[in-house]
Structure 1
Amino acid sequence: MDTLIRGGTVVTAAGQRRADLRLVGERIAEIGAGLAANGGERVVDAGGLLLLPGGVDGHTHLDMPIAPDCATSDDFYTGHRAAAFGGTTTHVDFANQQRGQSLRETLTAWQRRAAGKAVIDYGFHLTIVDPTEAVMAEMAELPRWGVSSIKLFLAYKARGMMLDNEQFFRLCRRAAELGLLPLVHAETGEIVDLLEREAIAVGRVEPRWHATVHPALAEAEATQRAIALARMAGSALYVVHVTCRGALAAIAAAKAEGAVLYGESCPQYLFFTEDDLARPEFEGAKFVCSPPLRSEADQAVLWQALANGTLDAFSTDHAPFRFHDQKARGRERFDMIPNGVPAIEHRLTLLWHFGVNQQRFSPERFVALTATNPARLLGLAPRKGALQPGADGDVLLWDPNATWAISAATHEMAVDYDLWEGVAGRGKPHAVWRRGALLLEGGQWFGEAGRGRYLQRKTATQNGNG
Structure 2
Amino acid sequence: MSTLIHGGQVVSPAGSVAADVLVDGETIAAVGAPGTLTGTESIDAAGKYLLPGGIDAHTHMEMPFGGTRSADTFETGTTAAAWGGTTTIIDFAVQAKGTSLQSTLDKWHAKADGNCAIDYGFHMIMSDVNDSTLKEMHACVDAGVGSFKMFMAYPGVFYSTDGEILLAMQQAREIGATVMMHAENGIAIDQLAAQAFATGRVEPVQHGLTRPPELEAEATSRAIRLAQVTGAPLYIVHLSAAQALAAVAEARDDGQNVFAETCPQYLYLSIEDLAKPGFEGAKYVASPPLREKSHQGNLWRGLRSNDLSVVSTDHCPFCFKDQKELGRDDFRAIPNGIPGVEHRMDLLHQGVVAGEISLGRWVETCSATPARMFGLYPRKGVIAAGSDADIVIYDPSATQTLSAATHHMNVDYSAYEGFELTGKVHTVLSRGRVVVSPSGYTGSAGHGRFLSRDLNQYLN
Q: Same fold (TM over 0.5)?
A: yes
Helix, strand or coil at the partner of 1:458: coil
Q: Which residue of 1 aligns with 2:362?
A: 366
Q: Which residue of 1 aligns with 2:95?
A: 97
Q: How do 1:191-340 and structure 2 match up within 5 A?
A: 191-340=188-337
Q: Matches of 1:395 and 1:170 in 2, distance apart?
A: 41
Which runs of no fewer than 5 residues in structure 1 stay unpaired? Answer: none
Helix, strand or coil at the partner of 2:300: helix
Within the candidate set 407, 418, 431, 1:411 is matched to 407
Q: Which residue of 1 aligns with 2:385?
A: 389
> Which one is further off, 280-289 or 193-202?
193-202
Per-residue deviation, residues 330-376 of structure 1 (Å, max 9, x unmatched): 111000100001011110101102x1011111110000000000110
Residues 9 and 16 of structure 2 are in contact (CA less than 8 Å); yes or no, is this contact kept in structure 1?
Answer: yes
Q: Which residue of 2 aligns with 1:454?
A: 450
Within the candidate set 77, 86, 89, 1:88 is matched to 86
Within the candidate set 423, 430, 434, 1:434 is matched to 430
Offset, 1:116: 2.1
Q: Matches of 1:310 and 1:458 in 2, distance apart?
A: 23
Q: Matches of 1:464 and 1:185 in 2, distance apart?
A: 20
User: Aligned pair 1:49/2:48, yes or no?
Assistant: yes
Q: How do 1:14-33 and structure 2 match up within 5 A?
A: 14-33=14-33
Q: Matches of 1:447 and 1:302 in 2, distance apart?
A: 35
Per-residue deviation, residues 436-458 of structure 1 (Å, max 9, x unmatched): 11101115110011110000000
Q: Which residue of 1 aligns with 2:126?
A: 128
Q: Matches of 1:36 and 1:211 in 2, distance apart?
A: 54
Helix, strand or coil at the partner of 2:232: coil
Q: Matches of 1:220 and 1:100 in 2, distance apart?
A: 31
In the TM superposition, structure 1's runs of 4+ consecutive aligned residues that sit over 3 Å from their partners are 463-466
Q: Partner amino acid for 1:25? A: G
Offset, 1:264: 0.5
Q: Matches of 1:385 and 1:36 in 2, distance apart?
A: 22
Per-residue deviation, residues 120-173 of structure 1 (Å, max 9, x unmatched): 1111100101111011111110122110100011111132x1111111111111
Q: Which residue of 2 aligns with 1:145?
A: 143
Residues 257 and 459 of structure 2 are in contact (CA less than 8 Å); yes or no, is this contact kept in structure 1?
Answer: no
Residues 22 and 38 of structure 2 are in contact (CA less than 8 Å); yes or no, is this contact kept in structure 1?
Answer: no
Q: Matches of 1:311 and 1:352 in 2, distance apart?
A: 16
Q: Which residue of 2 aligns with 1:59?
A: 58
The change in CA–CA distance for 1:312 and 1:397 in structure 2 (over 3 A counts) is: same
The change in CA–CA distance for 1:30 and 1:158 in structure 2 (over 3 A counts) is: same
Q: Matches of 1:220 and 1:84 in 2, distance apart?
A: 34
Q: Matches of 1:259 and 1:387 in 2, distance apart?
A: 30
Per-residue deviation, residues 83-140 of structure 1 (Å, max 9, x unmatched): 1111000010100101111111001111111122101111110010111101111111
Q: Matches of 2:348 and 2:317 in 1, distance apart?
A: 20
Q: Matches of 2:293 and 2:70 in 1, distance apart?
A: 28
Residues 60 and 319 of structure 1 are in contact (CA less than 8 Å); yes or no, is this contact kept in structure 2?
Answer: yes
The change in CA–CA distance for 1:464 and 1:294 in structure 2 (over 3 A counts) is: closer
Q: Matches of 1:361 and 1:335 in 2, distance apart?
A: 36
Q: Matches of 2:412 and 2:5 in 1, distance apart?
A: 37
Q: Which residue of 2 aligns with 1:35?
A: 36
Q: Matches of 1:122 and 1:421 in 2, distance apart?
A: 28
Offset, 1:315: 0.4
Offset, 1:327: 0.4
Helix, strand or coil at the partner of 1:269: helix
Offset, 1:2: 2.4
Q: Matches of 1:295 and 1:281 in 2, distance apart?
A: 20
Count of residues paired in the alignment: 459
Q: Matches of 1:67 and 1:312 in 2, distance apart?
A: 31
Q: Matches of 1:464 and 1:193 in 2, distance apart?
A: 35
Q: Matches of 1:291 and 1:365 in 2, distance apart?
A: 25
Offset, 1:208: 1.1
Q: Matches of 1:223 and 1:346 in 2, distance apart?
A: 27
Residues 158 and 193 of structure 1 are in contact (CA less than 8 Å); yes or no, is this contact kept in structure 2?
Answer: no
Q: Which residue of 2 aligns with 1:399?
A: 395
Offset, 1:36: 3.2
TM-score (norm 2): 0.98
Helix, strand or coil at the partner of 1:77: helix
RMSD: 1.2
Q: How do 1:341-380 and structure 2 match up within 5 A?
A: 341-353=338-350, 355-380=351-376
Q: Matches of 2:121 and 2:223 in 1, distance apart?
A: 24
Residues 155 and 186 of structure 1 are in contact (CA less than 8 Å); yes or no, is this contact kept in structure 2?
Answer: yes
Residues 31 and 384 of structure 2 are in contact (CA less than 8 Å); yes or no, is this contact kept in structure 1?
Answer: yes
The change in CA–CA distance for 1:156 and 1:443 in structure 2 (over 3 A counts) is: farther
Q: Partner amino acid for 1:82? A: A
Q: Partner amino acid for 1:347? A: R
Q: Matches of 1:15 and 1:215 in 2, distance apart?
A: 38
Residues 52 and 395 of structure 1 are in contact (CA less than 8 Å); yes or no, is this contact kept in structure 2?
Answer: yes
Q: Partner amino acid for 1:318? A: H
Residues 97 and 128 of structure 2 are in contact (CA less than 8 Å); yes or no, is this contact kept in structure 1?
Answer: yes
TM-score (norm 1): 0.97
Offset, 1:227: 0.5
